[in-house]
Amino acid sequence: MSSDSWAEARKSYLTSLRAKLKSAYRAEQDTDKTLDRRWLNGFMAAGFHSGLVGLKELKLENLSAYRKVMGERMTEGQEQQLERRLVRLCGP
């Protein structure tokens, strides 16, 4: 894959991820309960395992989407839970 097509694939993936994360956090906010995240988890794991994003980027995208939708930062506990979830998703 050429560097231009890789950069385009990465950009496209991140754009899709941001939209999917915001949508998931909005839905969670509207229902006041945690929704089934299997599809979103699979999407994030695929991006990681394909080399398009790293753990740090996945975490930052989640934190950013949460802040934009909820209007506040995640609590320490929520952030730690997110980190554990991402490490499990992106493990071998």
What is the tens place of the pLDDT at every residue in 19-78? 999 999 999 888 877 778 899 999 999 999 999 999 999 999 999 999 999 999 999 999
The residue assigned the tokens 């695929």 is 46
Band the pLDDT of 2: cuts 50, 70, 90.
confident
What pLDDT sits at residue 1? Answer: 61
Place of tokens 């740090």: 56
Alpha-carbon distances of 68 from 15, 25, 34, 48, 83, rounded to whole Å: 15, 9, 18, 23, 19
Q: Indicate the pTM of the whole model.
A: 0.89
Domain that holds residue 65: 3-90
- Across the range 7-20, mean pLDDT stands at 95
Give the number of domains in the chain.
Answer: 1
